[in-house]
Chain A
Amino acid sequence: MNKREIDIALKKIAKGDNFAFEQLYTETKRGIYSFLFSYFDNVADCEDAMQTTYLKIKQNIGRYQNGSNGLAWILQIAKNTALNELRAKANYEKRQSGSLINEAICYDSFETKDAVMSIMKRVLDEEEQRIIILHVIWGYKHKEIAEIINCPVGTVTSRYKRATDKLKAAWKEEQQ
């Protein structure tokens, strides 16, 4: 789904079209999930944020301005959701510190799951993960990524290069 198609889908959703919503989910789920992935260190939180993001799209569609960048709008919702959940989690953990509850929580860590995803978590920092995801999964150009994460194009290019070098090396090692 390109940016124009996303804009069209959002317009339809704004008119109450649930089918368009499902279509938007199908077409953007991988991108949104991978974007959220860079914020969390476990599957459960990432999945929760994913559901919340799409729920918020339904709840806030009335605020979407036709003609603005729909994809950026969705990514902004995803980002805010991730940050809110992280904040809430931090507060919760602060409240529970010292108790045994923390130890009882069994996170389904990304480490145990898939190869490249876990390599990403291991060798890249959050920003590098986001750059890789926005470029590889979403197909954004470095210039566009710079606008999304609000940093210079040169920085995106150099961080992308550094991140791919690290990933390639780790992936090669994994394959051997």
Chain B
Amino acid sequence: MKSWKKQLKNEFDNAVPALKDEVRNAPIMTRPENEKFEAEKRPVIGRRIGIGAAFGAFALVIAFVCLSAFGVFNSVTPEPNKFVIALEINPAVAFVTDGNGVVINVTALNDDADVILSGESLSTDMKNKRLTEAIVAYTDCAAKLGYLDLTAAKNAVRISGSSGAGEKLTANASESLKNYFRSKGIYAVVVEDFIGVKNLCGRLGVNETDSLDELTESLCNLSELYGARLSEDASSEELKNLYKTYVVGAQTLEIVREELLENISAVISNAQMVQQICLRNYEIMMHKDNPFNPLPVDYWRIKKYPNANYTSEFAALMSETEYLLDEYEKKFGKAIMSLDELKSVADVYSSLSGMNLEEAFSSLSLADFQASTKNYIGILKNIGFDVTALESLLTAPVTEREYIAQLQTLLSELFKSRTEQNKSVYEQPREAISESDYEKFINDIKKEYGSLEAFWNKK
């Protein structure tokens, strides 16, 4: 029986209409008007020179082709002295090596790779190492952070290099990865892909070129972090957008949500105690025996007058509040010293009034989180978390430098949080996979999917 998923894809493929000519030929409403018509602004004389230059260039091309045909340039194709290899696990990264396969540059190709490269000293450590070692160090870090599903029966990574002189290097790196997977007991396929430099550019998201030298140069000139590259020359509006997407976006929500859910009993207890203290303080303020009656003076201001006379009922209320405050300090490591402080610890729950906290956190949408980020971080602060780093993300950046600083803070928080979350799975001992079992695993994949590439595409 054919899988319904395959069938569905086929059916959609057959159903999709062709693009109508009116859409195909419709003009694109580009934004930068000044860039769009730059050519038209050139003076007539400039255009004439341009036409002359084009003829000149054409003549040169003809001359080059003729000379090539006679073998004049046969001896001047040098062996490339640098190579580019891309590794895609999901966090994708590009390595540039020298001619001996020693890593000289590492570039993140997506935001997940930024998290990996932000950890400890991995990025620096990988440089000057042989590619075979660097690629294993990177993959191991990805496994540690949960980007490789160590419990899954089938994983896949793809390693791509330009065809030609770099193939051997890519093949060695691939072999070294396979050995790593086997030794760690991870069932993962390594798909090798040798493609032309131009295609490699597309995969790496850099400007197209046919020259490996140009590609290595442009990679070496890029910022290592993908997120930092996105912010280059960004307008203040674009920075705001990036801030919303990447800094207080889904990843921050995940960190905060994980912590809240993991410490849900502490959060519930904190909310209940804050509520009790608020109620007691309110009773004190409104009590007929309040020494400052009719003024609604709070617990802390009354305490400043130790000689005030209390009725027995009011004294009981005061000591009950004192007990609650002591308990709060013991439990959460922070004393509430004034009505303002009480307000600030209570305000964080303002949007959650009457809700089941666990359900509210589990179903917290990105929009709701972004609307009250400060409150959710505040809850963590209430229960004793050091939220200095998270709080530094609360103010939208004005400059690119501020944005990158926030991004780095977030990445390092993500690194910590993911390491913690995946620690037990990563550290769980696994039996190494024998060569024959690994071979059988690969053959089974080929049988099921037709080829390793097909399996990769499916993943």
Contacts and interface: CB of A to CB of B under 8 A. Distances in A.
A172 B3 CA distance: 10
A66 B110 contact: no
Interface size class of A (residues with CB under 8 A): 35 or more
A147 B257 CA distance: 14
A43 B15 contact: yes
Interface string A100-120: 000000000000011111011
Contacts of A66: 230, 234, 238
B4 interface: yes
Residue of A115, A116, A136, A167 ringed by the most chain B CB atoms within 10 A: A116
Nearest to B233: A66
Interface in A46-80: 47, 50-51, 54-55, 58-63, 65-69
A5 to B, nearest CB: 7
A6 to B, nearest CB: 11
Contacts of B43: none
Interface in B1-53: 1-2, 4-5, 7-9, 11-17, 19-20, 22-24, 26-32, 35-36
A59 B11 CA distance: 30
A30 interface: yes
A116 B339 CA distance: 63
B195 interface: no
Contacts, number: 133
A59 B31 CA distance: 10
A62 B29 contact: yes
Contact of B30 (A16, A29, A132, A143): A16
Residue of B26, B241, B366 ringed by the most chain A CB atoms within 10 A: B26
Interface string B191-204: 00000000000100
A63 B31 CA distance: 7
Task: State the main secondary structure of chain B at its contact with A.
Answer: helix
Given A61-B30, A65-B238, A67-B245, A25 B19 contact: yes
A88 interface: no
Contacts of A155: 363
Interface in A140-169: 143, 146-147, 150-155, 167-168
A8 interface: yes
B251 to A, nearest CB: 11
A59 B29 contact: yes
A90 interface: no
Contact of A61 (B2, B23, B28, B110): B28
Contact of A15 (B9, B16, B30): B30
A15 B35 contact: yes
A3 B11 CA distance: 24
A81 interface: no
B205 interface: yes
Task: State the main secondary structure of chain A at its contact with B.
Answer: helix
Given A4-B205, A67-B245, A167 B28 contact: no
A101 to B, nearest CB: 25
Interface string A14-25: 111110011001
A175 interface: yes
Contacts of B23: 51, 54-55, 58
B12 to A, nearest CB: 5
Contacts of B367: 150
Interface residues of B, number: 48
Contacts of B245: 67-69
A11 B237 CA distance: 16
B68 interface: no
A14 B4 contact: no
A154 B15 CA distance: 32
A21 B29 CA distance: 12
B15 A172 contact: no
Nearest to B241: A65
Contact of A29 (B1, B16, B29, B364): B16
A150 B367 CA distance: 8
B4 A116 contact: yes
Contacts of B265: none
B20 A136 contact: no
Given A25-B19, A55-B23, A136-B9, A168 B4 contact: yes
B7 A51 contact: no
B394 interface: no
Given A51-B19, A58-B29, A147 B366 contact: yes
A172 B12 contact: no
Given A8-B205, A65-B238, A68-B245, A117 B28 contact: no
Contacts of A60: 29
Contact of A58 (B1, B27, B31): B27
Contacts of B93: none
A137 B15 contact: no
A150 B250 CA distance: 12
B172 interface: no
A61 B27 CA distance: 11
A114 B363 contact: no
Interface of B: 1-2, 4-5, 7-9, 11-17, 19-20, 22-24, 26-32, 35-36, 109-110, 202, 205, 230-231, 234, 237-238, 241-242, 245-246, 250, 362-367
24 contacts: A4-B110, A4-B205, A14-B28, A15-B30, A30-B13, A33-B15, A33-B16, A34-B12, A43-B15, A51-B20, A51-B22, A55-B26, A58-B27, A62-B29, A67-B230, A68-B242, A117-B11, A119-B4, A136-B8, A137-B9, A143-B250, A151-B365, A153-B362, A168-B4
Minimum-distance CB pairs A-B, first 4: A152-B363, A62-B31, A114-B11, A67-B230
Given A114-B11, A132-B8, 12 more contacts: A3-B110, A18-B28, A21-B28, A30-B16, A55-B22, A66-B238, A67-B234, A67-B245, A117-B11, A117-B12, A152-B365, A167-B4
